[in-house]
A and B are shown apart, each in its own frame.
Chain A
Amino acid sequence: MPEKKPKIKKEPNVQIILPVRKSQSRPKAIKKPKIFEEILRQQDGRSRIKRSITEELIKIRKGEAAGKTHISPYAYIYADYLKGSKYEKITRTIENRLTDLGISGKIHRLSQFKNLEEIIDEDLRRGITTIVVIGDDKMARDAINVLAGREAALGIIPLGETNKIASLLGIPEGAVACDTLSQRIINRLDVGEINNKIFFSRLYINSQRRPITCDGQYDIFSPGGDVLIINSNLDPAEKSLPNANPKDGKFEILVKPKQPGLKFFGKKTIQESLFFAKRLKIESSSAFPIFVDGKKIFYKNVDIEIVPAALKVVVGKGRKI
């Protein structure tokens, strides 16, 4: 029987076990807050990472605004068509030459999704002072339209089929243009404005009969021939055109006769009129075409004005202006 007693005694032990079981359940209850803490810690960590990233981004943006990220004052914009293998070799030599001369800078390549105006705006915001376009006349004209009236200078490295603007400015084609660029002879040139649209070279009006008001002082009545309003002459070799200087602050207005004139009693009569004016106005009841730098645009009422010294451009020693 006494042996049985312990058995009975064991019962309370069994009862004691219960609290132990309870105690076993306690760590489970403690574990739950630990998991929350971990989650909280993890969340804290993530937020810290986020904070640090945003801080870094802010720093970068501030640096960009101050122009610290791009030390070079030059930016180079390549024309869209220079991507092909045809121009690969020459573009490499240009880049190498620029590096040798110490005037290398940020490079952009135009594409369907990259607008020239946006690129230039962004570069100017970053503190770049010289925008160099690598391409043909079209590329140079587009850059002139964007840079006219701004303080940044325009450089041209002519590559392509027609390079009349570069030729006028005395910039040789290809990698040799880098040397001209490094010499940094800057001229301020006039540009024309037709209804607030910039043009560099000239306006051409076919069979002009409407009166042209010059500087608000006098009207020119053309006999019905062609009229050219010239800021800069891209064909200096052409003798029929006057020597237009894009630094004189005036347009050269060439009024041609309706028909080529006949010799009058053996004497050669003057056939072409030449005027100089800063502001022109043409009013018409119907729309008429004007070729603005070779591009046909229809106008009804036209205000044409010269913007003196609006364009800062890098020129070469062999310039024809």
Chain B
Amino acid sequence: MFKKNQREEEAYSLEENDASSEELRDTIIAQGVKVEGDFKSKGNIIVEGQVAGSIKTDNDLQIGERAKISASITAKNAHVAGEIQGNIKIKEKLELSETSKIYGDIEAKTLIINAGAIFNGKCSMADENAPVNLKTDKKLKKEENAGEEAED
């Protein structure tokens, strides 16, 4: 009986492993397919078709040459060759190829823009030191001012 139970447990533990690995499979939106709404995934996303709404992934995003996207985008890394109308927020690296067209703001840690790419919007790149220090400086100044006022 003990052996039997042990085998069952082993089998169940296998299931859990499979489920966790399954999360990381690529989602593909092929040419001719349209997606509307909030599209979320934990794995990679490849877009060759159309998306309207929002795209969110914990992994990489690849937008093909013929893709048309009117959505806000959040991803870890992104390679864009198609058209995007919306804001892009990338945690690590964003690469815009020569065929890409961006109409919106970009926020990325690393940005690569190839010759021929069209980009209309604001760009802010994360600086590890600057924004944090600025905030602390402001806080410090406020504290100092508050202290001076109290002394007066």
Contact of B11 among A187, A223, A245, A261 (CB under 8 A): A187
Given A188-B12, A255-B30, A257-B30, do A250 and B22 touch, yes or no (CB 8 Å)?
yes
Q: Which residues of B contact A188 (CB under 8 A)?
A: 11-12, 15
Most B CB contacts (10 A, CB to CB) among A221, A264, A309 go to A221
Shortest B3–chain A CB gap in Å is 9
Q: Which residues of B contact A40 (CB under 8 A)?
A: none
Contact of A185 among B11, B32, B38 (CB under 8 A): B11
Say yes or no: is A8 at the interface (Cβ < 8 Å to chain B). Answer: no
Say yes or no: is B7 at the interface (Cβ < 8 Å to chain A). Answer: yes
Contact of B22 among A220, A245, A274, A315 (CB under 8 A): A245
Shortest A311–chain B CB gap in Å is 12
What 0/1 pattern do residues 66 to 95 of B give for CB contact below 8 A with A?
A: 100000000000000000000000000000
Are B22 and A248 in contact (CB-based, < 8 A)? Answer: yes
Main secondary structure of the interface of B (DSSP, over half): mixed
Are A249 and B19 in contact (CB-based, < 8 A)? Answer: yes
Are A261 and B37 in contact (CB-based, < 8 A)? Answer: no
Q: Which residues of B contact A274 (CB under 8 A)?
A: 25-28
Are A309 and B11 in contact (CB-based, < 8 A)? Answer: no
Are A245 and B35 in contact (CB-based, < 8 A)? Answer: no
Q: Which residues of chain A (204-242) have a CB below 8 Å from chain B?
A: 211, 217-223
Q: Which residues of chain B (4-32) have a CB below 8 Å from chain A?
A: 4, 7-8, 10-12, 14-15, 18-19, 22-23, 25-32
Interface size on A, residues (CB 8 A): 34
Say yes or no: is B121 at the interface (Cβ < 8 Å to chain A). Answer: no
Are B15 and A187 in contact (CB-based, < 8 A)? Answer: yes
Are B18 and A273 in contact (CB-based, < 8 A)? Answer: no
Shortest B138–chain A CB gap in Å is 39
Given A218-B53, A245-B18, A270-B46, do A186 and B8 touch, yes or no (CB 8 Å)?
yes
Are A247 and B19 in contact (CB-based, < 8 A)? Answer: yes
Using a CB–CB distance below 8 Å, which chain A residues touch chain B? Answer: 183-188, 211, 217-223, 245, 247-250, 255, 257-258, 261, 264, 269-276, 309, 315
